[in-house]
Chain A
Amino acid sequence: QVQLVQSGAEVKKPGASVRVSCKASGYTFTSYGISWVRQAPGQGLEWMGWISPYNANTDYVQKFLGRVTMTTDTSTSTAYMELRSLRSDDTAVYYCARDASNLAAGTGGYWGQGTLVSVSS
């Protein structure tokens, strides 16, 4: 069965960086893209970007350009999301999500359990 297992909670100071990992299993990792979605406390879902493990192509939301980098390691079937220059309003649960199908890039057919990133001085 498809599983996405994310790294554990992080506490960071403003200005620091965080890297969240997402280890995939149960399918061919290079066949489906991975999106990163975040959810601030009590708020809705915010799509941050997408990466193709097949060719490392990425799509980022403009507001995160220059602060976010999404990568994959096909040898370990793991996706990574690094967010730099953290601010307090980056406090959120960060999810990775696999495309629902090859015709639905950017959707979340399968989700990781979420990683809470707290930013506080």
Chain B
Amino acid sequence: DIQMTQSPSSLSASVGDRVTITCRASQGISDYLAWYQQQPGKVPKLLIYAASTLQSGVPSRFSGSGSGTDFTLTISSLQPEDVATYYCQKYDSVPRTFGQGTKVEI
């Protein structure tokens, strides 16, 4: 099975900072990559799919890039409401595995 590895596992940044989270697949997955945000105590929310397509209603400060094995999620200007754990997910084939998560704090 293809493994999904996120880095870092956690980070602390200041309001207004640019934040980048990386997700690496153990084999190529083209652009079949989604990113989710899970705020504390809340249901996960889809931010991006197809590696770079912003889900409707998601603020434009979120962006995704990458293809093949290396992907990034960028928050251009961190806001207090962005405190959350972020997960990547591959969906090219079964199993549609999640990364282990990156906890973002302020």
Q: Is the CB of A95 within 8 A of B34?
A: no
* Nearest-CB residue, chain A, relative to B99: A44
Number of interface residues of A (CB under 8 A): 26
- Given A35-B96, A45-B87, A105-B91, CB of A111 within 8 Å of CB of B34: no
In the bound assembly, the distance between CA atoms of A46 and B34 in angstroms comes to 14
Question: A100 interface residue, CB < 8 Å from B?
Answer: yes
Number of interface residues of B (CB under 8 A): 22
* Nearest-CB residue, chain B, relative to A48: B95
Q: Is the CB of B91 within 8 A of A107?
A: yes
* Nearest-CB residue, chain A, relative to B43: A111
Binding site secondary structure of chain A: loop
- Within 37-94 of B, Cβ neighbours of A (below 8 Å) are at 38, 43-46, 49-50, 55, 85, 87, 89, 91, 94
Q: Which residues of B contact A46 (CB under 8 A)?
A: 98
Q: Is the CB of A100 within 8 A of B49?
A: yes
Q: Is the CB of B89 within 8 A of A47?
A: yes
Question: A53 interface residue, CB < 8 Å from B?
Answer: no
In the bound assembly, the distance between CA atoms of A59 and B96 in angstroms comes to 10
In the bound assembly, the distance between CA atoms of A37 and B101 in angstroms comes to 15
Chain B residues within CB distance 8 Å of chain A? 34, 36, 38, 43-46, 49-50, 55, 85, 87, 89, 91, 94-101
Chain A residues within CB distance 8 Å of chain B? 35, 37, 44-47, 50, 59-62, 95, 97, 100-101, 103-109, 111-114
